[in-house]
Amino acid sequence: MSRWGWRIAVGVAVWLMAPAFFHAQESLPLQISPDVLVRQTVAREIAEANSPTSMHMFRSRRQTAKGSQTRLYVETKDAMAGMLIANNDQPLSSQQQQSEIDHLNWLAGNPEQLRKKRAREKDDADRTLRIVRALPDAFHYKYVGTEVSRPDMGKPADELVKLEFTPNPAYSPPSKVEQVLEGMEGYLLIDTTAYRIALIDGTLFRDVSFGWGLIGRLDKGGRFRVQQADVGDGNWEITQMNLKITGRILLFKSFSMISDETFSDFRTVPLDLTFAKAVDMLKTEQEKLAHNHEPEAAAQKKEPR
């Protein structure tokens, strides 16, 4: 986001870096402290975020109280290209499909708008990396066990070490971006072979105010959960993101971010892919989906009423 976010309005989610590790479940806590493990993992994630070795086309399904939306995304060297393909798991109408294509064509033919889109995505990525960089200093960590990886979390056959985290009282946030960490606790799952975060699950155990409470407040009980996995060839991507955040902005304006989003069907695309080429790929994919849906739609019309 970056793919995080691209995502996300919480700025808590891209991940971390370092060398190879070991696999021993019982001896691991004796060989390296949890604080050192987190610091090395964060170094790895930041390195991967700053120098990506792959880009992907993938599918997203986001569920909110208002329903679900399914999109296709393609990462490019210019900006993220995205296309809505379904609402509440139902394909778009022909008119809606054309509207999506028209918007993508407009972006592809408008360098200034594309530059602004790229800048917004970079700002999101930078805020996320600031959160990631703060993780080693903002919290105290404790080993609490291990878990088995899954196809959508970590790397198959790798062991995941579970670390609980609580705020470090000595930590002083350098800006309001990192300030949210002061009211957060939860746990991490770290793939100790890849030095990557497979899962972060954080909960606000108290209200968190910004600007002495005049600018905004996040409510106690807010939670975010983000997991990522090796999607092939050692490349890691976000596979699931759950948000439940409420609060207020400027004392009186309340807001709520509650959603569950999954990411799947990752396919590698060229690192030098342009936005215009990605639009062509999305059009082709949309045509395939429409063709595959035709037999299903025909069968539904024949069903007796």
Alpha helices in 139-274 (DSSP H): 176-179
Q: Rounded to the nearest 10 degrees, how much is the dihedral formed by the CA atoms of 165, 260, 84, 75?
A: 20
Give the global pTM. Answer: 0.82
State how many domains the chain has: 1
| pLDDT per residue as tens digits for the range 29-59 | 447 899 999 999 999 999 998 888 899 999 9
Euclidean distance between CA atoms 124 and 238, whole angstroms? 15
Q: Say if 93 falls within a structural domain.
A: yes
Q: Say if 304 falls within a structural domain.
A: no
| pLDDT per residue as tens digits for the range 3-13 | 444 343 334 33
Q: Residue 267 pLDDT > 60, yes or no?
A: yes
Confidence of residue 256 (pLDDT cuts 50, 70, 90): confident
Q: Say if 302 falls within a structural domain.
A: no
Residue 31: per-residue pLDDT: 77
Q: Say if 22 falls within a structural domain.
A: no
Residue 25: per-residue pLDDT: 36
Inter-CA distances, 296 with 241, 292, 301, Å: 30, 8, 9
Q: Say if 147 falls within a structural domain.
A: yes
Q: Say if 101 falls within a structural domain.
A: yes
Q: Say if 67 falls within a structural domain.
A: yes
Q: Say if 102 falls within a structural domain.
A: yes
Place of tokens 């606000």: 204
Stretch 190-210: mean pLDDT: 93
Q: Residue 22 pLDDT > 70, yes or no?
A: no
Inter-CA distances, 162 with 9, 77, 127, 159, 182, Å: 26, 35, 25, 10, 21
Provide the residue range defining the domain that includes 48: 28-294
Show the tokens assigned to 247: 């609060």
Residue 299: CB atoms within 10 Å: 9
Q: Residue 68 pLDDT > 70, yes or no?
A: yes
